[in-house]
Structure formats: structure tokens, C-alpha cells
A and B are shown apart, each in its own frame.
Chain A
Amino acid sequence: MDMKVAKKKLGLKERYSHMTRGLGWDTSYQSMDDVYPYAKYEGIKIHDWDKWEDPFRLTMDAYWKYQAEKEKKLYAIIDAYNQNNGHLSVTDARYLNTVKLFLTGVSPLEYMAHRGFAHAGRSFPGAGPRIACLMQSLDELRHAQTQVHAISNYNKHYNGFHEFRHMHDRVWYLSVPKSFFDDAVTAGPFEFMVAIGFSFEYVLTNLLFVPFVSGAAYNGDMGTMTFGFSAQSDEARHMTLGLEVIKFILEQDPDNLPIVQRWIDKWTWRGYRVLALVAMMQDYMLPKRTMSWKEAWEVYFEENGGALFKDLARYGIKMPECAKTIALEKDHLSHQTWGTFYNYGAAAAFHTWVPDEDEMNWLSAKYPSSFDKYYRPRLEYWREQAAQGNRFYNKTLPMLCTTCQIPMLFTEPGDPTKTCYRETTFKGEKYHFCSDHCKKIFDDEPEKYVQSWLPVHQIYQGNCFPEGTDPTAEGFDPLAAVLQYYHLEFGRDNLDFEGSEDQKNFDAWRGMATRNT
């Protein structure tokens, strides 16, 4: 009689290894270089893909199960929130502008991340990182779609949301986040992983995603808050992957260090420049503040990031140089950015306003060395002018930084009274920059950045008018034509919050919901 031999019990790690890297093989009918054509051109040297440590061991069956549970809960809450007119329970209608900024500026990036990780996930010859990237690709699609679905109900009731996709590819300030992600996706797969997986997801996510979600929680926006919380466990996985990638690359070959250091320097700065939008959101746009931009930077970058870079020091990685500049800007960033949007409030798809007295006092307390001295007087002057019927709208077009594409609004590090200008000449053409760091990024790869689709240049070249526009026609109004090209509805999507349709509707609807007349 046959004795049944007990099966060798596999360890979790071994079992997972059969479920993943055990599936791959070295091709022989086609060369590995042809099958993975993008694996070498960046100069990163990988000798042994099997040294990759899987940061989490998630098989597809478990993935479907966990994610479906989360989706069920999320959509149940969104449905209940919508049915109950939850939008009327936000602190005040100014808050909605935060959500507009998020949907037009950030959600399309989640979609880009989905496609970018599909590309990275196809590109690496190692099975372990490939699977981790593809799972992230799928997660990012989730984030893009749950955001659109959660915010969809706001679009039904308020302005500024209705053309988020169209605007993302065209509107001047949205070229800041768009060019950031286009930059990452057009880089090689390793740089993409350092840019998005590490710098963005690991180092900066607490400064981007978290302020929006915490802001939502503080301001009664249960829809946005719920997708944020629901995405949290995905984000934790993504952060782990980002860190694992860096360590893996650095452990593979000492020659990788200078390349990775350059990427970390570049992407910390690129990411930080995008965060200018978040900084002003935190300090100016949330009716109920969570924390100031400066506090957030100190906690999440200076403290947490400082610890991270200390940990990476054993690989030879140094804290990016730009951290010093950022520290000098932290008392000024949000004020200068909001000031610019207040100026260009006629060309933005959300409303702007002067903070009220309480809010100014909060800003004074949070920024004792800068707000009262430099920024309060200007806001008070604008408020005074608006009260006299002279709400100021700037109708000229600003010069943009070729790299980050933000108008040249930032001041010299250490001197908030002087605008910072840098320039470089490449093939006989002059290019302008907001900072030494943006200039350096250009100088390292000029062939790439000369391609930038700069909104102001494009407007002057006549590329941002609706098809069939005749700019030589009598009475041609260029600003109006540009707004039409953006699909931005003048008087509804833009201008001051005071007197806006959003303000009136919110008040009327809240009245219906809370009073009997």
C-alpha cells in the first residue's frame, strides 16, 4: 500500500515567489534586449533582478477580495452622501474651490500614473517589480475613477468642475501639474519610478494627498474624505514600493548612485513646485484650516523626510540641495501664489477672494515673520479697492518658468522684495526660470525642456483660440477667446467668490435645507 507522504509545507515567501517571479523566464526566441527595450538606456545597471525583495505579498485573489470590500463601502457612502445633499454640509461654499483644484489638477494625474505604471510594469526585466508596478497601475485607475465619481455630484450643483478633463490639457496653471507628470512619463522607466514611486509617492504624498483629504474631513466633505481614506491602504503599498525601488537600484551597482541622486534632486524640486498649489489651498482656500503650509512642510519634509534621508545616507544619498531654498521660501510660498491667483482670477476656473479678518489673524499667527510685513497690507489694499467697486483683475500675461511653468512670481531666496529671475541660452534662444533649481533641470536636459508647451507662449502664438477664430477681426477680445478655448464660462467658473453663482446657490439651497421659508 502506498503511504501518503505529507507535502512539504511552503513558507509564505517561497509560495509567493512561485506565484510571481517563478512565472517569468529568460526569452531565447527573441533577445531579452528586444523584449525589454527600455531597460538599459538610462544607464542604470541591474545585475540580479532576483535580489528584489517583494515589499508586500499580495496575490490577485486576495487583491480582488480586499479591494472589492473597500469599493463596496466607498460607493455606499458616496451614494448616501449624495442622496442626503451632503454638499450642503460643507463649512462654506468657498471650500468647493479646493475640490475644483483637486479634480482639475490632481485626478488627471492619477490617470497618468495608471498608464505610466503600466508602461513601467511592462518595461522591467524583473518579474517582482513588474507585478508591483502593474498592481499600482490598477490602483491608480481606481483613484482616478473614485475621485471622478465622488466629485461628480458637486459638478451637478456647482461650477468649475464641468470640463475638468478638457481644462487639464489647456488651462495655464494646470500645465504645472500636467507638465510635471508628462515629464515623469516621458523619462525612462527607472527615472519614472524614482520620480513618482519615490519622490512623489514616498517623500511628498503627505504634502499633497493628505492636505486635501484632511481638508475635506475638516470641512465636512464626506465624499472626498471617504475616497481619501479608502485610498490610504493603497497609498501605503505604493510608498513601500517607492522606497524598495530606490534601495534595490542603489544596492545593485555603485555607478547608479550619481544618477539616482540627480533624479532625487530634480524630482524633489519638481514636486515641490507643484505643491505651490497645495500651499495656497491650505493657507487660503480651506474655510476651516487643518495646518499651515509651513507647519506641514516642517513636519512632513523637514522631520520625516530628514529621517528618511538619514536612513538613505548609508547608500551615499544626500538630502537634495533644494531643501535649503525651500526652507527660505516656506514663509512666502502660499502668500505669493494666492496673490497671483487673485490677480488672474478672471482666467482661473475657480473663485478667489481676500481672506476675512479672522483668517488674516490666523495667517499672522502662523507666519509671524512675513504675513503682516509683506502680505497683509497688499490684501487689505485689494479688499479696499474691491469695496469701492475696483476688484482688480490682471489682464496681461505673465512670463513663465520654462521648467515648472509657474509664472515668475517667486522672490529671491532670502529677499522677499525682489523677484527671482534666471536665464539660460540654448541654440541661440533665451529661456527663463524661476529659480536656480529649475534652471539646472533645464541645463541637464535642454533638448527635453525646449519642447515645453508653455501656455503663455502658446496664447501669443495664436494656438489657444477656438477653431475658426479670426484674431484680426474688429473688436477681437483675446482673453475672451482664450477662455472659450478653455471651455471656461465667463462669470460662472471664474472671478471673485463674492457675488458668484456658487455662493448664491449654496446659500439658497442651505436655506431650503435648514429653514421653512
Chain B
Amino acid sequence: MHIDLRTVTITPLRHTFDHVARRLGADKPASRYQEGTYDMQATANFHYRPTWDPDHEIFDASRSAIRMADWYTFKDPRQFYYGAYTMARARQQDTAESNFDFVESRGLAEAMSPELVRTVLDQLMPLRHVAWGANMNNASVCAYGYGTAFTQPCIFQAMDNLGIAQYLTRMGLLLGDQEALDAGRKAWLEDDRWQGLRRYVEDTFVLKDPFELFVAQNVALDGLMYPLVFETIVDDVFASQGGTAVAMLTQFMTEWSAETRKWLDATMKTAAAESDENRALLEEWTRKWRDRAAAALTPVATIALGAKADEVVGEVTEQFNKRLAKAGLAL
């Protein structure tokens, strides 16, 4: 049944802001994602050059070798503006909180064998620092990238990376103690198995092209690491050894990585579809950083996988290639 509540009806003069209407092709109602994103970044008449980078304007598309006729061609399929983003994460945070409570209240951590706990901590604790590096890199892309449609999801990504580092920290404190964090840190700084990965992360810190950094961090490294560590090692290997609790404590990471991939793939697809030059460049960067990431992750994966690490990294890489093929990249 329909009930007809009456309100005074006023015919509006326009439906959205003019710059949004130009992008929609007509004056029609726009979403909050569109009004909060389109043209939010200044593009003209900058007053001064940055004293920290006098070769560029404050916002300058030429910081990247990727060329776009319009940087607002990028669209976040999740349609995340601040409100939508925080509400989505708050829901996930709720789940994570119950998972931590569940594991703690049922004593599930104590139910795991000490050997398994040690492997879990050895495998996962140094990743706190990898996630921290990801936070720095996404802050860079947000600061030095061009156009809100491209940069806005990167501040979300940066804060997610920080959140992940903090979930890992909580897990370390739950399964071990601060010694577990210290041991992870020591391994990150000194253990040979981690040095390839640390070198990778530090090398990305000095990348100047925001789009290449985006590829090296979000597409290549996280694109291999999350499927390898959270979907394979945690969900399959640890779970089969009585470590389902670990999967519960890292559920956020698994879901997050599946969700963010939609945005990453859409971004790669849009940039590659723009021109042959872009595609060639993205393929070159993705290949280069994929190979380095795979090589750096293999010794890390031996912690849980032993001799099978090579094979599993190979499988994950193959999946990765298929995934990027859908975005139009031949790797």
C-alpha cells in the first residue's frame, strides 16, 4: 500500500554544481561520491612553486610518466568518499572486534601448539613493518599524485595499511607478547630471509613517480603478498594445522585485499586503456616490480611453506598475471 505524505514542492534551479554537470554531460542529480570527488583538487593559477620541489607546480600531472587527458576518468567502483569509506570500515572493524573477542574468550590462542604459534609469529610479525611501509607509500601517492579521483582512495589505502599494521600488532600481543613484536622487528632488520623484502620496501620509498609507486606497492607487492600470506598460508596452511584462530584474526586483511583489488584493477584498466604508451609503461613497471616482489617473498614464504615456497609463489604469480590480464595488461 502506498501512503502519500505531502511536502511543499519547490522546483530547484539546478541539480548539481556546474563542474559536476559538465562531467555528467547534463544538469542532473549527482551522487555524493561525484560531488565530493570531481574537480576537488585545484588545477589552475597556483601562486608559488613548492620550495621542496621547484621543478613542479603544487599539483602537477607531470610528476608521473603516465599521461591522462583527464584524470577524472578514474572511478572508484566502491564509490568511496570519506563517509562511505569510514562506514564500510567501521562495519569491518566490528567484525574484527568480535573475532578478537571470540579468540580471546574461548582461549583459542592457547589451543594452538607452541610450534605453530612460533611459525605464525615468525611469518606474520615482520609484516607489521611492511604494512607501515605501505602506509608511507600511499601517503606519497596521495600527496604527489594528480586529481582527487586518483589520490583520494590512496589516503584511504594508507590508513587501511596502518590499520592492518595495528591489527597485526594486536595479534602479536595476543598470541605472544611484546617479545613477539621485538623478535619480528629484529627479523625484519637482520634475518636474511626478510632482507630482500625490506630492500624492496626501502627502494619503493625513493620512487618519485606516484603512479609507478602505486604499481610497485599496491599492485605488485600487495597483489602477491596478500594472496600468498593471508589467502594461502593463513587460510590453508595454518588452518590445517589447528590455527583457524589466525584466520579469524586476519579476516580483515583477506576481505580488505579482495575489496581493494576491485579499485586497483579498475585504476590499472583505465590508465592502460588511455593509450598504448600508458599500457606499455604499466606492463613494464608491473613486470619489473612483480618479479622483484616474487623474488623477495619466496624466502619469506619458506617460514611456513618450507621447500614448497617456490611453487606456491609461482602459483600466486600466475593468478596475478591472469588478474592483470583482465585489466588489459599482458605480463
Q: Which A residues fall within an 8 A CB radius of B? A: 4, 7-8, 10, 14-15, 18-19, 22-25, 27-30, 34-35, 37-38, 41, 59-61, 63-65, 67-69, 71-72, 74-75, 83-85, 108, 111-112, 114-115, 118-119, 121-123, 127, 130-131, 134-135, 137-138, 141-142, 144-146, 148-149, 152, 155-159, 161-166, 168-170, 175, 178-179, 182-183, 185-189, 448-449, 451-453, 458, 487, 505, 509, 512-513
Q: Is B17 a contact partner of A158 (Cβ separation < 8 A)?
A: no
Tell me which residues across on chain B come within 8 A of A24, comparing CB atoms: 129, 132
Tell me which residues across on chain B come within 8 A of A130, comparing CB atoms: 136, 139
B165 lies within 8 A of chain A by Cβ: yes
For the complex, give the distance between the alpha carbons of A135 and B47 in Å.
Answer: 27
- Given the known interface contacts A162-B18, A170-B44, the answer about A75 and B83 at a Cβ–Cβ threshold of 8 Å is yes
Q: Is A178 a contact partner of B42 (Cβ separation < 8 A)?
A: yes
Tell me which residues across on chain A come within 8 A of B45, comparing CB atoms: 169-170, 175, 178, 453, 458
Q: Is B44 a contact partner of A452 (Cβ separation < 8 A)?
A: no
Q: Is B163 a contact partner of A64 (Cβ separation < 8 A)?
A: yes
Q: Is B49 a contact partner of A451 (Cβ separation < 8 A)?
A: yes
Tell me which residues across on chain B come within 8 A of A72, comparing CB atoms: 87
- Given the known interface contacts A23-B165, A68-B86, the answer about A118 and B143 at a Cβ–Cβ threshold of 8 Å is yes
Q: Is B169 a contact partner of A122 (Cβ separation < 8 A)?
A: no
Contact of A10 among B139, B151, B155, B173 (CB under 8 A): B173
Q: Is A85 a contact partner of B10 (Cβ separation < 8 A)?
A: yes
Q: Is B155 a contact partner of A137 (Cβ separation < 8 A)?
A: yes
Q: Is B10 a contact partner of A157 (Cβ separation < 8 A)?
A: yes
Task: Supply 5 A–B pairs (Cβ within 8 Å), ascending by A.
Answer: A23-B165, A27-B205, A144-B40, A145-B32, A148-B35
How far is the CB of B68 from the nearest CB of chain A, in Å? 18
Contact of A161 among B17, B142, B143 (CB under 8 A): B17
B281 lies within 8 A of chain A by Cβ: no
Tell me which residues across on chain A come within 8 A of B129, comparing CB atoms: 23-25
Q: Is the interface of B mostly helix, strand, loop or mixed?
A: helix
Q: Is B32 a contact partner of A149 (Cβ separation < 8 A)?
A: yes
Q: Is A71 a contact partner of B14 (Cβ separation < 8 A)?
A: no
Q: Is A453 a contact partner of B47 (Cβ separation < 8 A)?
A: yes
B15 lies within 8 A of chain A by Cβ: yes
Q: Is A157 a contact partner of B169 (Cβ separation < 8 A)?
A: no
- Given the known interface contacts A19-B169, A152-B17, A156-B15, the answer about A112 and B142 at a Cβ–Cβ threshold of 8 Å is no
Q: Which of B17, B144, B205 neighbours the largest number of chain A CB atoms within 10 Å of its CB?
A: B17
Tell me which residues across on chain A come within 8 A of B16, comparing CB atoms: 152, 155-156
B110 lies within 8 A of chain A by Cβ: yes
Contact of A22 among B32, B140, B142, B185 (CB under 8 A): B185
Chain B residue with the shortest CB-CB distance to A141: B82
Q: Is A451 a contact partner of B48 (Cβ separation < 8 A)?
A: yes
Which bracket fits the contact residues of B?
Answer: 35 or more
For the complex, give the distance between the alpha carbons of A161 and B96 in Å.
Answer: 42
Q: Which of A34, A59, A122 neighbours the largest number of chain B CB atoms within 10 Å of its CB?
A: A122
Tell me which residues across on chain A come within 8 A of B82, comparing CB atoms: 71, 138, 141-142, 145-146
List B16-37 residues whose CB lies under 8 Å from chain A.
16-19, 32, 35-36
Chain A residue with the shortest CB-CB distance to B156: A138
For the complex, give the distance between the alpha carbons of A179 and B48 in Å.
Answer: 8
B43 lies within 8 A of chain A by Cβ: yes
Q: How does the 8 Å CB contact mask read for B187-225 relative to A, with 1 for contact and 0 for none?
A: 011000000001100110110000000000000000000
How far is the CB of A30 from the nearest CB of chain B, in Å? 4
Q: Is A183 a contact partner of B48 (Cβ separation < 8 A)?
A: yes
Tell me which residues across on chain B come within 8 A of A10, comparing CB atoms: 173, 178
How far is the CB of B280 from the nearest CB of chain A, in Å? 27
Q: Is B7 a contact partner of A155 (Cβ separation < 8 A)?
A: no
B158 lies within 8 A of chain A by Cβ: yes
Q: Is B14 a contact partner of A165 (Cβ separation < 8 A)?
A: no
Q: Is B83 a contact partner of A18 (Cβ separation < 8 A)?
A: no
Chain B residue with the shortest CB-CB distance to A34: B206
Q: Is A145 a contact partner of B81 (Cβ separation < 8 A)?
A: yes
Q: Is A156 a contact partner of B159 (Cβ separation < 8 A)?
A: no
Contact of A155 among B14, B162, B202 (CB under 8 A): B14
How far is the CB of A204 from the nearest CB of chain B, in Å? 20
Q: How does the 8 Å CB contact mask read for B136-160 relative to A, with 1 for contact and 0 for none?
A: 1001101110001001100110111
Chain B residue with the shortest CB-CB distance to A30: B202
Q: Is B14 a contact partner of A162 (Cβ separation < 8 A)?
A: yes
Chain B residue with the shortest CB-CB distance to A182: B47
- Given the known interface contacts A72-B87, A141-B155, A512-B10, the answer about A35 and B48 at a Cβ–Cβ threshold of 8 Å is no
For the complex, give the distance between the alpha carbons of A166 and B139 in Å.
Answer: 26
Q: Is A513 a contact partner of B8 (Cβ separation < 8 A)?
A: yes
Q: Which of B10, B19, B43, B82 neighbours the largest number of chain A CB atoms within 10 Å of its CB?
A: B82
B121 lies within 8 A of chain A by Cβ: no
For the complex, give the distance between the alpha carbons of A83 and B151 in Å.
Answer: 32
Q: Is A19 a contact partner of B166 (Cβ separation < 8 A)?
A: yes
Chain B residue with the shortest CB-CB distance to A135: B159
Give the 8 A-B residue pairs with the shortest CB-CB distance, closest first. Answer: A68-B90, A60-B163, A23-B132, A145-B36, A156-B12, A119-B143, A118-B143, A182-B47
How far is the CB of A195 from the nearest CB of chain B, in Å? 13
B66 lies within 8 A of chain A by Cβ: no
Chain B residue with the shortest CB-CB distance to A157: B12
For the complex, give the distance between the alpha carbons of A134 and B161 in Å.
Answer: 12
B310 lies within 8 A of chain A by Cβ: no
Q: Is B90 a contact partner of A141 (Cβ separation < 8 A)?
A: no
Q: Which of B50-58, B239-247, B257-265 contacts A (4 or more CB under 8 A)?
A: B50-58
Tell me which residues across on chain B come within 8 A of A112, comparing CB atoms: 42
B3 lies within 8 A of chain A by Cβ: no
Q: Is A71 a contact partner of B36 (Cβ separation < 8 A)?
A: no
Tell me which residues across on chain A come within 8 A of B12, comparing CB atoms: 156-157
Q: Is B40 a contact partner of A111 (Cβ separation < 8 A)?
A: yes
Q: Is B166 a contact partner of A61 (Cβ separation < 8 A)?
A: yes
Q: Is A35 a contact partner of B206 (Cβ separation < 8 A)?
A: yes
Tell me which residues across on chain A come within 8 A of B35, comparing CB atoms: 148-149, 152
Chain B residue with the shortest CB-CB distance to A512: B8
